[in-house]
């Protein structure tokens, strides 16, 4: 079956949304699908509910104007692979792509392809990048011979490109286009400031940051308001539930697993569906993945539809709540810099032992950008595939 992806709050069908949708689809198909047992030819089912979110009829004119400045450049300047590798002691300040490749080839590949992904726009480019990244990962797994040993950046890129040779190389990897992207990615890496490892904070303009916060709060309130007493799903939950039904139908027809990925508030929406709106139905998810989500927080606040203390504070649970029985496995991922990403195990316990797990992931962003940074990077999908392969 295809993946079902449920987005979170603060999503509207603009250029950024469309770009990330293309990137996400390419890497889920090329990197994660084979590990999950899913045919990569399936389209990604991605119900869009942002159109039913909050609408600001005065375009947030209520935000006060003030001294709006931005320092240190853009949030995107720190790649997650840098943060992860630095935390693991695999790179130090002053390292070059060549020196990193010699001592930690896997880090060099993650750095280079994370950098390439920053500049890609078209669906074709994303597909080429995903395929090349997968080919590079396969080469890294071959430990019988050394790789990425040349002493120049151009030499390293040639080694990488050599792995993409074959009778259908032009069709699969784009030929000259891949070489151009490799060069551009390496160039972008060379332009990083020397103090990038310090995770310098970016100060966004107040209007930009406040707009994000207001839309997050507004979309959340919109969903909670339309939910009412929970007797019937509102427009947002209905959109997601319909997509889940579509995915389930293909899952039954193909015998492939049903894998649902939720970002941010999409996790709360799906939780309500699994525990309330789909209760008594045959809907069942093989693997549920929540990323930067607040499901654990909302349970602690008793704001989920089936929270024990939602209607009676005297019914607040003393022990962790069992996980949804309709999700056979639950993987929860959060960045410690993401103030909107929470763990689930403190408030939930696995219905079946070992089937609910929390994982940390370093998006490489400062606090202001971590929440939206997960799905932007090839290295995220590699780690997601590794977690899926662990079973449990």
Residue 385: Cβ-neighbour burial (10 angstroms; 0-12, 13-18, 19+): buried
Domain that holds residue 171: 79-198
Q: Do 90 and 32 sit in the same domain of this protein?
A: no
Whether 369 is in a domain gets the answer yes
Q: For the domain that residue 217 is a member of, what is the CATH number?
A: 3.40.50
Per-residue pLDDT 10s for the chain (392 aa) are 579 999 999 999 999 899 999 999 999 999 999 999 999 999 999 999 999 999 998 888 887 765 544 443 344 445 777 777 877 888 887 888 999 999 999 999 999 998 899 888 889 899 999 999 999 999 999 888 889 999 999 999 999 988 876 545 555 566 688 888 899 989 888 755 444 443 333 334 456 667 788 898 999 999 999 998 888 899 999 999 999 999 999 999 999 999 999 999 999 999 999 999 998 899 999 999 999 999 999 999 999 999 998 878 788 888 899 999 999 999 999 998 888 999 999 899 998 999 999 999 877 666 667 888 899 889 899 999 999 998 65
180 plus 234 within the same structural domain: no
Shared-domain flag, residues 263 and 283: yes
Structure tokens at 29: 């198909």
Cα–chain center distance at 210: 23
Give the sign of the dihedral formed by CA 326, CA 47, CA 259, CA 360.
Answer: negative
- Domain presence at residue 326: yes
Same domain, 285 and 300: yes
Identify the domain boundary among 198, 225, 241: 198
Same domain, yes or no, for 27 and 100?
Answer: no
Look-up of token digits 């890496």: 189
The answer as to whether 13 is a domain residue is yes
Provide the domain count of the chain.
Answer: 2
Considering the domain architecture, whether residues 236 and 186 belong to the same structural domain is answered as no
Residues 45 and 182 occupy one common structural domain: no
Asked if residue 72 belongs to a domain, the reply is no
pLDDT in tens, 228-250: 888 889 999 999 999 999 999 99
Summarised one tens digit per residue, pLDDT across range 326-379 is 999 999 999 988 889 999 998 999 989 999 999 998 776 666 678 888 998 898
| Domain co-membership, 17 together with 164 | no
Query: Judging by beta carbons within 10 Å of its beta carbon (0-12, 13-18, 19+), is residue 390 exposed, middle or buried?
Result: exposed
- 121 and 101 in one domain? yes
Residue 240 resides in a domain: yes
In a domain, 33, yes or no: yes
């Amino acid at each position: 079956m295809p993946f079902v992806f449920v987005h979170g709050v603060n999503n509207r069908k603009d250029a950024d949304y469309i770009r990330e949708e293309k990137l996400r689809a390419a890497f889920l198909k090329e990197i994660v699908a084979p590990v999950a047992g899913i045919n990569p030819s399936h389209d990604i089912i991605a119900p869009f509910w942002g159109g039913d979110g909050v609408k600001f009829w005065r375009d947030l004119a209520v935000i006060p104007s003030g001294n709006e400045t931005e320092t240190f450049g853009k949030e995107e300047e720190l790649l997650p692979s840098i943060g992860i590798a630095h935390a693991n002691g695999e790179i130090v300040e002053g390292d070059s792509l060549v020196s990193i490749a010699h001592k930690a080839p896997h880090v060099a590949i993650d750095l280079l392809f994370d950098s390439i992904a920053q500049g890609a726009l078209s669906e074709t480019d994303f597909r080429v990048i995903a395929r090349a990244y997968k080919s590079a990962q396969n080469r890294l797994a071959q430990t019988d011979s050394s790789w990425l040993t040349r002493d120049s950046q151009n030499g390293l890129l040639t080694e990488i490109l050599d792995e993409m040779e074959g009778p259908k190389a032009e069709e699969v990897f784009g030929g000259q286009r891949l070489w151009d992207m490799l060069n551009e990615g390496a160039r972008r890496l060379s332009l990083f400031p020397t103090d990038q490892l310090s995770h310098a904070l970016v100060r966004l303009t107040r209007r930009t940051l406040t707009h994000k916060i207001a839309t997050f709060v507004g979309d959340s309130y919109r969903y909670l308001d339309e939910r009412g007493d929970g007797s019937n799903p509102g427009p947002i939950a209905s959109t997601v539930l319909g997509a889940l039904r579509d995915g389930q139908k293909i899952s039954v027809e193909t015998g492939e697993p049903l894998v649902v990925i939720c970002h941010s508030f999409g996790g709360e929406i799906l939780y309500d569906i699994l525990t309330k709106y789909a209760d008594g139905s045959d809907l069942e998810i093989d693997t549920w993945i929540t990323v930067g989500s607040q499901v654990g927080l909302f349970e602690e606040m008793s704001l989920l539809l089936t929270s024990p203390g939602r209607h009676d504070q005297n019914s607040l649970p003393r022990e962790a709540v069992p996980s949804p029985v309709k999700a056979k496995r639950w993987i929860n991922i959060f960045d410690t810099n993401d103030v909107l990403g929470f763990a689930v195990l403190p408030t939930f316990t696995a219905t079946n032992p070992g089937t609910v797990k929390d994982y940390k992931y370093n998006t490489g962003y400062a606090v202001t950008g971590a929440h939206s940074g997960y799905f932007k990077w090839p290295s995220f999908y590699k780690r997601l595939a590794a977690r899926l392969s662990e079973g449990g």
